[in-house]
Amino acid sequence: MSKEVNPSYLNKEELIYEVKIREEVPDSTVDALRKQLRSLLSEYPSDQIVKTDLDPNDELEVIKQKLKELQELVVKQKQSPSSTSLIRLKTLAYHLHHRLNRVEVEEVSIKQKVSFCQGSLNILFELLEQQIPGNPQEDEISEQPAVDCKQINNIQVFDQHQLEKPSGSGCSRAGNKSIAKWNVRFNGVSDPRSFLDRVEDLQIADGVSDQELLDSAARLFVDQALIWFRAVRSDLTSWKELRALLLEDFSIVDYDFKLLGEIRLHTQGIEEPLHIYFSIMKCMFGRLKKPLPETEKLEILLRNIRPFYSQQLAFVEITSVDELLKKCKVIEVMRQRGLDFSEPDKQNFSVFTSDFLYKPKKQAQSSFSSSKQTGNPESVWRNSKQNSQVAAVSKEKQLCRKCGKPDHNFKTCRKFSHDNCFICGKPGHFAKLCQNNVNKPPQITKN
């Protein structure tokens, strides 16, 4: 028989507790609370809620008072049996059973109190079974020996046994509360793969199971996506099915083809760090339904990284993306060292290290002066001979326009001639009648 509470036999404080642990806002009246709890029990049974955020000490104080109330009701039921009172007894006992199992046991003192309350509740269950003939083991919780009910108020003895949790699917509302704080929503317009990647990252971080994720999936959808989820929720049995159906219905047409086109055009930015670019590209590769071969990934990356890297790796054989990243990091380190390099500063040398200071040679002024300073007569003779040969060659190329002989020019020519033209040097005419004279007056012919 299921140990489920009956909302019709819970008081207002107990109803408010049952509604709050299901993350709903309690109504104001008892009738409204009972109606609210009935609808919640079908979706969130009591044995599937194993944790709460309530303070353990406060909860133990309430449970202690409830145990005293349960003891009094058991005694009254034994004295004057009543079917209505018996249902209230069972409902309160089931309520305390689940409530006690939800108390977080971390400190030793809390663990001892929980163990004592658990033992006291087991005693009351045994006494309660005596009021139900024909069902000796119907609601049995433990096999501990029965003791007198007065031990309920005796808080001097504490058992050290562990708290036994109820069986069931084990759905934890703590995971559901974590999902509510994620602030991740899918509206049916954005990329479903980005949404799923973020959800699964947070699922691993908060330790949420796939079943918990499926049970709280309504928190992850808004707008059109929420309408879609309501339509398919009854057909889903696992988060894996929901994920596959979401990608099937909301992925764009030819997703791989279009994504691969974006990948081929995605080059490294001028200030984009190397590790960030490779991380982005690996994530983009991972979203393809059909994985790319390593050689094709390598080809795309070699084309899209900064030319500074690809030019230096032109003659290097690379077989994998990881190897490419390592070699690019080495190049980046050497580039950064080159940028950080600075020329030696003489001021940094102290008196103790001044003898290690490099002294560069002075720049030579000329070949002749350096030879003269060194006092090498062979060098002086070779240089003077070379200079005279250059001067002789230059003189041989000069011809006098007056006499046509070398070794002198027109101004230093000593040949005297009245018949030679001073412009072209040829005899038979004067300069003013020379054909090469641009200022020659026009000749007048007589008829």
Q: Per residue in 298-357, pLDDT tens?
A: 888 888 888 888 887 888 888 888 888 888 888 888 888 888 887 777 666 565 566 666
Per-residue pLDDT of 66-110, as tens digits, reads: 888 888 888 887 778 888 888 888 888 888 888 888 888 777 777
168: left (phi over 0), alpha (psi -120 to 50) or beta: left
First to last CA, the chain: 153
**373 vs 65, which has greater pLDDT?**
65
Task: Report residue 416: phi and psi, to 5°.
Answer: -110, 130
pLDDT of residue 139 exceeding 50: no
pLDDT of res. 354: 64
Q: Which of 99-103, 378-382, 397-401, 429-433 is least confident?
A: 378-382
pLDDT, mean over the chain: 74
pLDDT of residue 159 exceeding 50: no
* 62-93 core/surface letters (b: 16 or more CB in 10 A; e: else): ebbebbeebbebbeebeeeeeeebbebbbbbb
pLDDT bracket for residue 135 (50, 70, 90): very low
pLDDT of residue 391 exceeding 60: no
pLDDT of res. 175: 42
Could you count the other beta carbons within 10 Å of the beta carbon of residue 40? Answer: 17
pLDDT of res. 42: 83
Task: Report residue 427: phi and psi, to 5°.
Answer: -80, 165
In this prediction, residues 405-419 reach a mean pLDDT of 68
**340 vs 62, which has greater pLDDT?**
62
pLDDT of res. 397: 57
How is residue 186 annotated by DSSP?
Answer: B
Per-residue pLDDT of 11-36, as tens digits, reads: 888 888 888 888 888 888 888 888 88
In this prediction, residues 182-202 reach a mean pLDDT of 85
pLDDT of res. 351: 58
Q: Which of 164, 157, 85 is nearest to 128 (CA)?
A: 85
pLDDT of res. 355: 65
* Domains parsed from the chain with CATH numbers: 7-153 (no CATH), 173-250 (no CATH), 255-339 (1.10.1200), 399-447 (no CATH)
Q: pLDDT above 70 covers what percent of the chain?
A: 70
Per-residue pLDDT of 230-273, as tens digits, reads: 888 888 888 888 888 888 888 877 877 888 888 888 888 888 88
pLDDT of res. 389: 56
pLDDT of res. 131: 58
pLDDT of res. 350: 60
Retrieve residue 43's tokens: 């979706």
Sign of CA dihedral 84, 85, 88, 94: negative
pTM of the model: 0.37
pLDDT bracket for residue 281 (50, 70, 90): confident
Q: Which residue has the tokens 């994985």?
A: 291
pLDDT of res. 2: 56
pLDDT of res. 60: 86
